[in-house]
Structure 1
Amino acid sequence: MSGPVLVIELAEAVPRAAIQRLRDLLVCSSARLEEKRVGEYDLNIHAESLGISDTGGVDGRRPVVVSVMGPGIGDGSIFEAEQVDQEPLIGFTPTHAVGIVAFCNRPVDHVVTALLTAAVMDVVGGVVNAELREDQVPIVTDLPGLIATMTDPWPAAYGSAEFLRAWAQQPGFRLLK
């Protein structure tokens, strides 16, 4: 079963030193890590390493993929095909991205995805692109770190790591799949 997905939009390629720091973060935070290629990691993240104590009675090791992509790393052609004009919203046209994909869809997986994405942003920078349900737009509007929202062609919020951490603390928090 697939779970929530978040994307970190980046204005430039992630430097190799930052990719190494990202790998180090993931190694320290996970029970298992497999490096598929430089910048792509299949792991079981420890929910506790992100400060999550309530796992809803499920194993705290949550399966996730973290993937740096764009020209020169990963599949640049797929990345380019998925772009929408984001410059008016975030101030730059993304050239690279980091995708964080959870493989389970329990409430803890939504919180893990958000907090892991925030931790990755602390290392690589960027702006998170989070698709929303229409009823979530008013919830995120006043959160710290929100950069922009859009409703067309679908509701989405753009924000900082601070935004993700604040949103994940909201009652009933849930990412759009």
Structure 2
Amino acid sequence: MSGPVLVIELAEAVPPAAIRRLRDLLVRSSVRFEEKRVGEYDLNIRAGSLGIPETGGDEGRPVLVSVTGPGIGDESAFEAGHGEEIDQEPLIGFRPTHAAHVVAFSNRPVDHVVTALLAAAVIDVIGGVVNAELWEDRVPVVAGLPGVIATTTDPWPAVYGSAEFLRAWVRQPGFRLLK
């Protein structure tokens, strides 16, 4: 079953030193780690490494973290993922050239929290702004949270925010990512 996905918009390519720090973070936080290519990691993240109470067992939560854009990863994947996007520059202050995706492979409530907190940790390492699609009724809930950079309802409800925003959002009652 596919789980939630968050996209971290980046203003430029991630420097090699930041990619190494990202890899180190993921290795430390995982019970299983596989580097598919530089910038793409298939792993089972320990919920406890993100401050989430363990959910039983020690197999971790299955997640993919992938940095894409010119010079890293599948450039066509970056283009396909951003082809339908609105002009984000007026909202976030830059036109994304690269992105990092945090993709959960399970859809339990804990996977939504893991995805958000892992994305926050990734932002801490490589920078960027999270782009999260929302349920329409969640727009007023997230609008006042710290770290929100912008919200939009056109062409669909979405919020752009910082790592601080993601950490505040997961503490909200009924937290759940759209996809």
Scaled by the length of structure 2, what TM-score is found?
Answer: 0.95
Give the distance between the partners of 1:150 and 1:73, measured in 2 at CA.
Answer: 29
Deviation at 1:171, TM superposition (A): 1.1
Give the distance between the partners of 2:53 and 2:7, measured in 1 at CA.
Answer: 25
Give the distance between the partners of 2:59 and 2:50, measured in 1 at CA.
Answer: 11
Give the distance between the partners of 2:70 and 2:79, measured in 1 at CA.
Answer: 9
Over 6 Å off, 4+ runs:
none
1:80 is paired with a residue of what secondary structure?
helix
Deviation at 1:59, TM superposition (A): 5.6
> Aligned residue for 1:124?
126
Give the distance between the partners of 2:32 and 2:53, measured in 1 at CA.
Answer: 19
> Aligned residue for 1:95?
97
Deviations 1:27-51 (A, max 9, x none): 0000010000000000000000000
1:139 is paired with a residue of what secondary structure?
helix
Identical aligned pairs, as a percentage?
79
2:2 is paired with a residue of what secondary structure?
coil
- The letter for the 2-side match of 1:37 is R
Deviation at 1:77, TM superposition (A): 2.0
Structure 2 alignment gaps of length 5 or more: none
Is contact 1:35-1:42 (8 Å) kept?
yes
1:8 is paired with a residue of what secondary structure?
strand
Does residue 21 in structure 1 map to residue 26 in structure 2? Answer: no
Out of 149, 152, 173, which is 2:151 matched to? 149
> Aligned residue for 2:40?
40
- The letter for the 1-side match of 2:24 is D
Structure 1 alignment gaps of length 5 or more: none
Map 1:1-177 onto structure 2 (within 5 A): 1-53=1-53, 55=55, 61-83=60-82, 84=85, 85-177=87-179
Greater shift in the superposed pair: 71-80 or 111-120: 71-80
- The letter for the 1-side match of 2:120 is A
Aligned residues between the structures: 176
Deviation at 1:8, TM superposition (A): 0.3
Give the distance between the partners of 2:171 and 2:17, measured in 1 at CA.
Answer: 31
Is contact 2:31-2:58 (8 Å) kept?
no
Deviation at 1:80, TM superposition (A): 1.9
Rate the CA distance shift 1:54–1:174 in 2: closer, same or farther, 3 A: farther
Deviation at 1:99, TM superposition (A): 0.2
- The letter for the 2-side match of 1:69 is T
Scaled by the length of structure 1, what TM-score is found?
Answer: 0.96
Deviations 1:131-165 (A, max 9, x none): 00001101101000000001011100000000000
Deviations 1:40-84 (A, max 9, x none): 0000000000000163x5766100000000000111122123322
